[in-house]
Amino acid sequence: MKFPNLPSSLEAALAERGYATATPVQAEVMQPEAAGRDLIVSAQTGSGKTIAFGLAMAQELLGDSETLPFTERPLALIIAPTRELALQVSRELGWLYRETGARVATCVGGMNPQQERKMLRSGVTIAVGTPGRLRDHLERGALDLSSLRAVVLDEADEMLDMGFREELEEILDATPDSRRTLLFSATMPRPIEALARRYQRDALRIATISEGRGHGDIAYQAVTVSPPEIENAVVNLLRYHEAETAILFCATREKVRHLHATLQERGFAVVALSGEHSQSERNQALQALRDRRARVCVATDVAARGIDLPSLSLVIHVEIPRDAETLQHRSGRTGRAGKKGTAVLIVPFSRRKRVESMLRHAKIAADWTDAPDREAIKARDRERLLEKLLQPVEVDEGDRELAERLLAERTPQQIASMLVHAHRARLPEPEDLIADTPEARRAAQKERHRPGFEDTVWFRMDLGRRQNADPRWILPLLCRRGHITRNEVGAIRIGPDETYFQIPRQIADKFADAANRSAKAEGDEDPVSIERSESGPRDAARTNRKRHPNAGNSGGPRVQPKPAFRKGDKPRGPKRGKQARTPRNASKKKRP
């Protein structure tokens, strides 16, 4: 669809940037039924949302005029979750409204707040910023929203996830009731709907996200690996795809630091983005990616929010996203503006079911596969090299003379072999991966055990959840009864009426003898029973049924559960969260 009638200044700006047709979200917000109304827009990342709300609020800003007069207070406010996204929005609106004479101010953390306040007081048409910094300017009196005509919440779901609800509410409460509110979000969870009900009136819902798949321009892959092989899988994926720009998502700053150092050592041109980096360091990293001095970016979720790199074609989820929304936001860094992209999830063997559930929730069909091995990478290298060498090139006289000299001293086959060798020498070496076999998965499962607990014996106690069993007092009880330390107790499994726990086999006999002796020494008539269990927690259901024959019979009398504690086993003091009960007459003096 072509752009509808727009002010000539905006048409000229779009034509200069090569915008000939509107994206679906841009077309929807400019429909006649959307004019002047509050909007709730659900659109995928990279669909042209910034230009969409820039065009949507043109009527409120320009009216019938082609230029904007000087104004002391902002007429439009755009709120974004991160510095990078706010800076990107500011750049986009800057060129879109340049011919109108609009002044765009950016207010984000990491920048000089005094300079921002000075610019706001000198007169701004459009203010763009993050919630925290905008609220700070509002409370200091530098940001006056009394003349606001339009407010945009960009990536509203992410702002709520990041804990900015209080800031958003304070900012929106300071805006005029007559303002137009445009809410843009890739997902629409319940908190977003509640925010819309409070601050919007008769909002028009616009959804341009496909019902079938999370993002039609992104190919999703799920790669299963052994947990110790995750970093090697990252190396091989980068080498296999050889993307012009790739971003790797990690969950923590520490993981970003570690992976960044690892990839640097292996010869990748890589930069890092996390919350510990200053704004200057972030800008330098992003500029290195735009200048092609770096091709790989390792980042946390928040730091990478709002990154817009046209050459980004590969996203690797090194650590599994916390939910389906995070998966979509991360993956949406690629496949933007109609370009194709690839999103790869690295899935440890034990996390496959969780990832499958997440993909179903996000309505994403992913191809499950193994990480590329050395042979697959070499085959792709040969294809890329052939494609590159067979492309037509312009040759000057010096190049021709060099080629003739090489042919005089070497055979064509030798020259071709030298070219291949020179090409491979510049590339990081692939890694050898453990094959995805049942044996490898069993080995990975064993590695999850704590050192010293590879061979254990299950023991059983005759109390469970119905008797208020809790690891906080079970663990000291086991240490006292079995004469062991807490580091010598393995997994604890609490059932309805039994508790099972692991003891290393080499001390199992010693523990059993000590538990029996200590039970007799404490002199309790009915101590907590501790005994070996041949089958472990699997026999819990059978034992529970024997101890509770009437559990399923609502008409018969219920068997009373065994008391929770025995003499010497009960933890001292009241249970957490409850006050100790005092006898009714404890404070009264006894009458004579």
In terms of domains, do 91 and 150 share one?
yes
Q: Please give the span between the terminal C-alpha atoms of the chain, in angstroms, as a whole number.
A: 98
Q: Please list the alpha-helical segments (H only) found in 42-189.
A: 49-56, 58-62, 83-96, 113-121, 131-139, 156-161, 165-173
Same-domain pairing of 183 and 285 = no
- Split into its structural domains, the chain has a count of 3
Same domain, 338 and 471: no
For residue 572, being part of any structural domain is answered with no
Is 291 contained in some domain?
yes
Per-residue pLDDT at 211: 45
Q: Does 425 map to a domain? A: no
Q: Which of 183, 207, 231 corresponds to the end of one domain? A: 207
What pLDDT, on a 0 to 100 scale, did the predictor assign at position 522? 62
Domain boundary among 342, 377, 412: 377
One domain for residues 486 and 540:
yes
Residue 359 lies in a domain: yes
Is 559 a member of any domain? no
Pair (339, 478) in one structural domain: no
At which of 177, 207, 237 does a domain end?
207
Q: Which two tokens stand for residue 348?
A: 């440890």
Question: What is the phi/psi pair of residue 356, to 5°?
Answer: -60, -40
For 67, the 3-state DSSP assignment is: coil
**Residues 14 and 90 placed together within one structural domain of the fold:** yes
Verify that 161 and 189 share a domain, yes or no.
yes
Please indicate, yes or no, if residue 592 is contained in any of the structural domains: no
Where residue 502 sits, what CATH number does that domain have?
A: 3.30.70.330
Q: In terms of Cα–Cα distance, which of 180, 158, 168 is closest to 53?
A: 180
pLDDT at 279: 76
pTM of the entire structure? 0.61
pLDDT given for residue 523 in this prediction? 58
What pLDDT sits at residue 541? 40
**Residue 487 is encoded by which pair of tokens?**
């580091």
Secondary structure string (H, E, C) spanning 361-404: HCCCCCEEEECCCHHHHHHHHHHHHHHHHCCCCCCCHHHHHHHH
Alpha-carbon distance 150 to 132, whole Å?
Answer: 19
Phi, psi of 160 (to 5 degrees): -70, -40
Residues 228 and 286 in one domain: yes
371 and 229 Cβ atoms separated by less than 8 Å:
yes
Asked whether residue 442 is domain-assigned, the answer is no
Same domain, 185 and 244: no
Query: Residue 210: what pLDDT?
Result: 52
The 10 Å Cβ neighbour count of residue 484 is 18
The one-letter amino acid code at 161 reads: D
Are 80 and 34 part of one and the same domain?
yes
The string of pLDDT tens digits covering residues 429-439 is 888 887 666 66
Domain that holds residue 286: 218-377
Low-confidence stretches of the chain (pLDDT < 70) are: 1, 44-46, 209-216, 303-306, 337-338, 435-451, 522-526, 538-592
> Residue 466: inside a domain, yes or no?
yes
In tens, the pLDDT along 15-39 reads 888 888 888 888 899 888 998 999 9
Residues 195 and 49 placed together within one structural domain of the fold: yes
CATH of the domain at 318: 3.40.50.300
In total, the chain counts a number of residues equal to: 592
Residues 352, 486, single domain; the answer is no
Helices (H), 493-535: 508-521
Question: Which tokens is 443 given?
Answer: 């080995």
